[in-house]
Amino acid sequence: MNVSPTIALFPEASFGAALNCVGIAQELRRQGARPVFICHPGFTGIFAEYGFMEYHLTAATAPSAPSSERHWEEFLNTHLPNFNLSPSEQIKSYVVPTWDAIVDSAIAVEDSLRDILAQIRPDVVLLDNVIMFPAIANAGPPWVRVVSCAETEIPDPAVPPYLSGLDPADTAACAAFRKAYVAATRRTHRRYNAFRRKCGLPALPGEIFLENSAHLNLLLAPAGVRYDRANPLPADRFVYLEGCVRRESPFDLPHFPAETGPVIYTSFGSLGALDTALIQRLIAAFEAIPARFIVNAGGYIDSYHRVPDNVHLGDWFPQPSVVARSDLFIHHGGNNSFCEALFHGVPSLIMPYCWDGHDNAQRAAQSRVGKWVNRTGWTPESLREDIASLLADSEMRARLCGISARMRRQPGPEKAADAILGLQRRALRLTRPKGTGNAPL
């Protein structure tokens, strides 16, 4: 009897992780598996739009528990001024409160997650989060860690500290950042470890909120921008993906009064769309640049009352398909956006504001696949010069063309699905009673 293995995917409450998992789920489905999604509050319907079954978490009642999309919007609005700070300044002002909120989330959904896993009874669980949920570790089936942030999330002496945006060669700055990060997050980390111990899991060391899986770990770190680690990750448990670009609906370029000039796509993700002041300032600067701009305004499109003829606004775009039609991508350094730009051989102009956007901006500039621009330090004139230089850089184009060709030869979703289903088959052989033969899946 052929039985389709059930793969439960549990991305964090961000569109980057969610859409990365969609790419993997599409390939799992193509290969005959049954992928289903576990959704944080506020993400209902996102995965159903791609044809996947959803199971919805409910948060336990607690004063500090984030229980809705509105909570996170208010949280981010509160911290919007902190996006103008340097990565080291953000440790106390933004990173610590964010870790506090993430720990609150893990605690709040633990009971619901345990019940859902008992209902699904998955063969494998994919965890694309930055924190371990004890219900996953205790559920029984093998679990896969998906690192859809920058690879800096997994520490190494030759890799800059997570969220630092530092050059690894600057060893003094890296050491100072690590020390400050561990000290600032200590209280939150102790609270999280107390929760882990209560759930039967061992404590984690100072800067770690999520352990590596003993079974399989997937890293979205294309070879063209990957670090040479001092301690290489074991190949039997760590699989590098050349990005994980999902299949999306086709995109036709909108009509512009002037149908000439390069196409430049601008999107700062669901988080960055909150910063309407920055996007409005960019739109004003775009008016004087001889190019066609497609701008993702997210849910705040009604905030823009004057839009130049060479700018097209939208509240949502099938991003991989738009990037494929673009000559330049202006974004926040989210790992999905960065990988999509690399996959399609498009240079990046990165204006990071938080989290691993700083790390990807540094890596893009160091690897010469893009440029890092401070989100407050630019002028209309400097922006125009940066755009012109990126569009004219033939050496960068050639480098990106090579990276793109490699990524297309080794599609991330296909490699991820192969590894996941390979794990599932190995787990099945270990649990099958002797003498039952090799029944097909």
Q: Rounded to an integer, what distance in angstroms lies between the CA atom of residue 382 and that of residue 386?
A: 6
Q: Are residues 229 and 335 in the same domain?
A: no
All residues at 6 or more sequence positions from 178 whose CB lies less than 8 Å from its CB, including other chains: 161, 207
Q: Are residues 419 and 396 in the same domain?
A: no
Q: Are residues 278 and 179 in the same domain?
A: no
Q: Are 327 and 7 in contact (CB under 8 A)?
A: no
Q: What are phi and psi of 64, to 5 degrees?
A: -105, 5
Write down the pLDDT at residue 1.
Answer: 39
Q: Is residue 44 helix, strand or coil? A: coil
Q: Are residues 178 and 29 in the same domain?
A: yes
Q: Rounded to an integer, what distance in angstroms lies between the CA atom of residue 158 and that of residue 228?
A: 7
Is residue 440, in this structure, part of any structural domain at all? Answer: no
Exposure of 247 in the CB half-sphere (CA atoms within 13 A): 12
Q: Which H or E element spans position 38?
A: strand 34-39
Write down the pLDDT at residue 160.
Answer: 97
Quick one: DSSP state of residue 433?
Answer: P
State pLDDT tens for residues 274-311: 899 999 999 999 999 999 999 999 888 999 999 999 99
Q: Rounded to an integer, what distance in angstroms lies between the CA atom of residue 16 and that of residue 364?
A: 18
CATH number at residue 380: 3.40.50.2000
Exposure of 299 in the CB half-sphere (CA atoms within 13 A): 6
Q: Are residues 339 and 287 in the same domain?
A: yes
Write down the pLDDT at residue 69.
Answer: 52
Q: Rounded to an integer, what distance in angstroms lies between the CA atom of residue 239 and that of residue 241?
A: 6
* Structure token pair of residue 343: 């996959």
Report the predicted TM-score, pTM, of the whole model to 2 decimal places: 0.91
Starting at the edge strand that comes first in sequence, how are the strands of the sheet with 34-39 ordered? 53-56, 34-39, 6-11, 124-128, 143-147, 216-220, 238-241
Q: Are 103 and 190 in contact (CB under 8 A)?
A: no
Is residue 254, in this structure, part of any structural domain at all? Answer: no
Q: Rounded to an integer, what distance in angstroms lies between the CA atom of residue 79 and that of residue 353?
A: 11
Starting at the edge strand that comes first in sequence, how are the strands of the sheet with 328-331 ordered? 311-314, 292-296, 263-267, 328-331, 348-350, 370-372
Write down the pLDDT at residue 13.
Answer: 84
Q: Are 439 and 26 in contact (CB under 8 A)?
A: no
Q: Rounded to an integer, what distance in angstroms lies between the CA atom of residue 428 and that of residue 422?
A: 10
Is residue 271, in this structure, part of any structural domain at all? Answer: yes
Q: How many CB atoms lie within 10 A of CB 157?
A: 10
Q: Mean pLDDT of residues grouped by 10 in the chain (441 residues)?
A: 85 87 95 96 89 92 46 72 93 95 94 97 97 97 95 96 96 97 97 98 94 97 95 96 86 88 93 90 96 94 93 93 97 94 97 95 97 95 98 97 95 95 90 46 30
* Structure token pair of residue 26: 């599409």
Is residue 316, in this structure, part of any structural domain at all? Answer: yes
Write down the pLDDT at residue 110.
Answer: 97
Write down the pLDDT at residue 131.
Answer: 97
Q: Are residues 31 and 86 in the same domain?
A: yes
All residues at 6 or more sequence positions from 155 whose CB lies less than 8 Å from its CB, including other chains: 161, 162, 207, 208
Q: Are residues 114 and 209 in the same domain?
A: yes
Find the domain containing 213 and state its range.
Answer: 6-246+411-431
Exposure of 167 in the CB half-sphere (CA atoms within 13 A): 6
Nearest alpha carbon to residue 51 among 19, 69, 20, 25: 25
Q: Rounded to an integer, what distance in angstroms lies between the CA atom of residue 336 and that of residue 146?
A: 13
Q: Are 244 and 413 in contact (CB under 8 A)?
A: yes
Is residue 106, in this structure, part of any structural domain at all? Answer: yes
* Helix extents (H) in 367-393: 380-392
